[in-house]
Structure 1
Amino acid sequence: MRAVVIALGKVGLPLAARIALAGHAVVGADVDPRVVDLVNAGEAPFPNEAGLPEALRETVADGRLRAVTDTAAAVADGPDLVVAVPPLVVDATARPDWGILDAVVADIGRGLKAGTTVSVETTVPVGTTRARVAPALEAASGLREGTDFHVVFSPERIFSGRAIEDLDKYPKLVGGLSAAGEARGIELYASFLDAEVRGLGSAEAAELSKLAETTYRDVNIAFANELARYADTLGIDVLSVIDAANSQPYSHVHRPGIAVGGHCIPVYPRFLLAGDADARLPIVAREVNERMPAYAADLVAEGVAGRRVLILGIAYRGGVKETAFSGAFPLRDTLLGRGAEVVAHDPLFSADELRAHGFEPWDGESAVDVAIVQADHAQYAALGAADLPGVQVVVDGRGILDAARFAGVPVRRIGRPEGSAQDAGSAIAPRS
C-alpha cells in the first residue's frame, strides 16, 4: 500500500509512522517547512511522544517515510489511501473555523486520482464528511465519489503521549459514504493496524461515535464534580465514595478536578449540540465543568484579595505542552477579578512563553500566599512547603500532592476534607 498522511501533528505523524512501521510507503505532508525538515532528518518535531523518535529514525532511514510541503503533488502520485488529520480550529465557544480543513480538502482535490480512498480523521460535526468534504473533493477533482474514488470518516482515538501504542489498542472505526467505500477503508486500515477495524455502516455513524465517546467523558466528569461539591458540604471524601460506587461493575464514575481542558472534551460536546438542538445533558455538563476553576478558588475560604496567588501549571493536563481550553485561563481571570496578584509556573513553558499566554512568571524563589495546582505535572507531586516560600494555603486541584510535605499548611482538595495535620493552618495574613 501507498499512503499520504496530511498534517504531521500529534495525530498525523504517529499515524504516518505506524503505517510505515507496517512496511508501507508513506508520504507525510505539512505546510510547516520546519516540521518537514525535522521529519526528513528522522527527528520528532514535538516532545514526549513514546516510540515516535525511534519509529522516525527507522522508517525515514530506509525510505519508507518521507515528508513534503506540497499536498496536491503528493496526492497526485495516486496513493491507495489519503488520510487527512488537519486541526479544526475553534473559537472560545467551540464554533469551528473551517478554513484549514477546507484548504486541505481543496489541496487533496487538486491532486486526486481515480482509485484513491480519502479518510477524514479530524473530529467534525455529524454530516461534515458527506455534505462538506465529498462535494468539495468532487468539485476540485472532477471525479465522482463512490465511482472514481471513496471517502470515509475514521475518528482518531489516541491519547497524546502514547499515540502509536493506542493505534493498536482500540478498535479502528470506519464509516463510509457507500458500502463499497467503507469496505475499502476497512481493508486499507487493516493492512497496517493490529487492532480490530470495525465498520459502522455510514460516515454519520462514525462521526457520532467520536462525539459520543468524548461527550460521555465530559458528562461523567461533570457528575464527579457535582458529587465532589456535595461531598464538600458533607465533609466526606468523594474519592472513597466514587471508589465504593465503582466497586459495582455497572458504575464507572470518573474523578473530579479543577478543570476539563484540551482540544477534545470541552469542544466536541458543542459539535454534538450543534446538530441536536434537543440535547440537554451536554449543556449542563459543560456548565458544571466550566465552573470548576472558580470553585477551586472558592476553597481559599480566607479570600485572595491582596494576596499573591501562584498557579501551578498552565497546560491543560500534566506532561503535555498544550494550553487549549486550559483551566489556567479562567482560574487566572477569577483570581484577578477577586483582587489577587497572580503569578504562574509551568515546567514545560519558559518565562517568555508564560508571558505570551498572559501569565506573569514566578521566579521560583519569591514568596507567595496561596498556591493552586492546576496541571498534574509529575514534577509537582514531590512539592512541599519548602518549595513554595511563604505559602499559607495550598489548593490541590488535581489531587497529586502529599499533604505530609505541608505540615502546618492547609492542603485543600476538591471533594475531600482536610486531614488533622492540615487543619492546623490558620487564616492568611496580608503580605507587606
Structure 2
Amino acid sequence: MKICVVALGKIGLPLAVQFATKGHEVIGTDINEKVVDLVNAGVEPFPGEAELDMKLKQVVESGNLRATTDTTAAVAESEAVVVVVPLVVDEQYQPDFGPMEAATRAIARGLKPGTLVCYETTTPLGATRNRYQPLLEEISGLKVGRDFYLCHSPERVFTGRVFADLRKYPKLVGGVDEASAEKAVEFYQAVLDFDPRPDLARPNGVWDLGSAEAAELAKLAETTYRDVNIGLANQFARFAEKLGVDIYQVIEAANSQPFSHIHTPGPAVGGHCIPVYPRFYLWGDPEATIVRAARELNEGQPAYMVGLLDGLLGGLEDKRVVVLGASYRGGGVKETAFSGVFPMVAALREAGAEALVHDPLYADEELTALGLAPYHYGEPVEGAILHTDHAEYRDVSAAQFPGIKAIVDGRNVTKPELWTGVTRKVFGRG
C-alpha cells in the first residue's frame, strides 16, 4: 500500500516508521519543515523513543519512508491516510480544532475514490462523524461509504515505548459505516503485529467496535477511568491523614483482593491525556458527577500539597520553597504538559512564598522559559515539596537544602533517615 501519515510528532512518526517496516510505501507529512528535513535525512527529530533512531534510518534508506510538507499531494497518491494531528487544549481544557480542521481540509483536497481515512487523535465524542466527515465530503465532493471510507482508531501508546505498545494492545477501530469498518480492519491487520495476550477474552489484534463513536468512547473511557481511580486514591489518602493511617499500606492490602485495583495517590495529575480526556468525556456527558468530582479533586492536589507545607511551617509568607520536579511524570521523562508544577508554584506564590523549582532533566534556561525560577542544591530554603518521582530524589537528603525545616513528599519516595531534624510529611500517611 501507499500510506500517508499526517503529522510526524511523537506518535505519528513512530506510526509511519512502523508501517514502513512492514514493507509499505509511506509518506509522512508535517507543517514543520525542519521535522520534514530531519526525517528525510533519517534523523529522529526528538530523542527518547525506543528503537526509533535505528528503524527510521532503515526505512528512509530503503525508500519506504519519505516526508513532505504537502499533505494534499501526499494524500492524492495514497490508498490510506492516518491522521495524528494534535488536538491542542488551553488552560481550561478547551480544544482548538483549528489545526485538525486545517489538516482535514488539506486531506479533502487530495482525497480520491477508494481511500481510507483514519483519525487516531483522541477527540471529543462524535467529532469523527459530525465534524471531520462533513468537511471531507464538502471539500472533496466525495461521499463516505460510496466513494471513500472513514474511521476512528484511537492511539493507545505511551511515548518512549510506542513500538512495544503497538504490539501489546488491541487496535480498536470504529467506522462511520460497515464498509469503512471493514476497510479499517483490513488496513491495520496489514500494518501492525501483535503479541499473544492469553489474558484477553479474545485474541489480540484489530478489534472492530461497531461505530466511530464506540471507538472514541473507548479511549475516553480508559483514560477517564484512570483519572477517577487516581481521584479516589487521593480522596482515600486525604482521609487516611485525618485517621492517622498509612494509605499505602491500606491500598496494598485492598489490592491483594482481585477485584480491587486502587491506583497510587500523588500530588498532581499531569500529561497530555489524563487531565484532558475526562473533560472531553464531560462535554458529551455533562451529568457525569463522578467524573467531574474526580477531575476537580485531582486539579486541587497541587494546592493541597502547598496547604500541607503551610501547616508544617506555620505560614509561607516570605519563605523560600523548592518544588522538586517540573516534569509531570518520573522515570526520566522530560515533559511538562499540564504538569502540577505550574499550579503548585502559583499556589506558593499566592501564599507569599518565593517558589523555586529543581529538575535534573531541565537546564536553568529551560525552567526559566517555562516561567519557573531554577533552584540548585546547596542554596538555602525553608521548605520543599516533592512533586516528581525522579530516581534522583529517592536519595535526596536534608543536607542538600541548607536551612530546610519541612518537606512534603507527595510521592512517598524519600527516606526518613536522610531527613533527620526536618519535619517530613508523606502525603497519605497520618
Relative to the length of structure 2, the TM-score reads 0.94
Superposition pairs of residues 220-369 of structure 1, within 5 angstroms: 220-300=229-309, 301-302=312-313, 303-318=315-330, 319-369=332-382
1:152 partner letter: C
In the aligned structure 2, how far is the partner of 1:279 from the partner of 1:389? 48
Once the two structures are overlaid, the 10-residue window that deviates more, 99-108 or 6-15, is 6-15
Deviation at 1:332, TM superposition (A): 0.5
2:260 partner letter: S
Deviation at 1:34, TM superposition (A): 1.3
Superposition pairs of residues 30-429 of structure 1, within 5 angstroms: 30-77=30-77, 79-195=78-194, 196-300=205-309, 301-302=312-313, 303-318=315-330, 319-417=332-430
In the aligned structure 2, how far is the partner of 1:378 from the partner of 1:68? 40
In the aligned structure 1, how far is the partner of 2:295 from the partner of 2:147? 42
Once the two structures are overlaid, the 10-residue window that deviates more, 313-322 or 162-171, is 313-322
1:123-165 per-residue CA deviation (whole Å, 9 max, x = no partner) reads: 1111110111111011121111111110100001011211111
1:325-349 per-residue CA deviation (whole Å, 9 max, x = no partner) reads: 1101110011111111111122232
Aligned match of 1:27: 27
- Which secondary structure does the structure 2 equivalent of 1:83 belong to? strand
In the aligned structure 2, how far is the partner of 1:55 from the partner of 1:378? 29
Deviation at 1:21, TM superposition (A): 1.8
1:338-395 per-residue CA deviation (whole Å, 9 max, x = no partner) reads: 1111111222322222122111111333212212121222332332223333322222
Deviation at 1:194, TM superposition (A): 1.9
- Which secondary structure does the structure 1 equivalent of 2:168 belong to? coil
- Which secondary structure does the structure 2 equivalent of 1:113 belong to? coil
Aligned match of 2:13: 13
In the aligned structure 2, how far is the partner of 1:155 from the partner of 1:76? 24
1:399 partner letter: N
5+ residue gaps, structure 1 = 418-432
In the aligned structure 2, how far is the partner of 1:109 from the partner of 1:392? 61
In the aligned structure 2, how far is the partner of 1:416 from the partner of 1:54? 46
- Which secondary structure does the structure 2 equivalent of 1:299 belong to? helix
In the aligned structure 2, how far is the partner of 1:26 from the partner of 1:403? 54
1:304-342 per-residue CA deviation (whole Å, 9 max, x = no partner) reads: 222110111222212333222110111001111111111
In the aligned structure 1, how far is the partner of 2:163 from the partner of 2:84? 15
In the aligned structure 2, how far is the partner of 1:398 from the partner of 1:69? 43
1:28 partner letter: G
Taking only aligned residues, the RMSD between alpha carbons, in angstroms, comes to 1.3
In the aligned structure 2, how far is the partner of 1:406 from the partner of 1:74? 59
Once the two structures are overlaid, the 10-residue window that deviates more, 384-393 or 337-346, is 384-393
In the aligned structure 2, how far is the partner of 1:38 from the partner of 1:136? 31
5+ residue gaps, structure 2 = 195-204
Deviation at 1:112, TM superposition (A): 0.9
Aligned residues: 416
1:312 partner letter: L
1:384 partner letter: S
In the aligned structure 1, how far is the partner of 2:249 from the partner of 2:41? 50
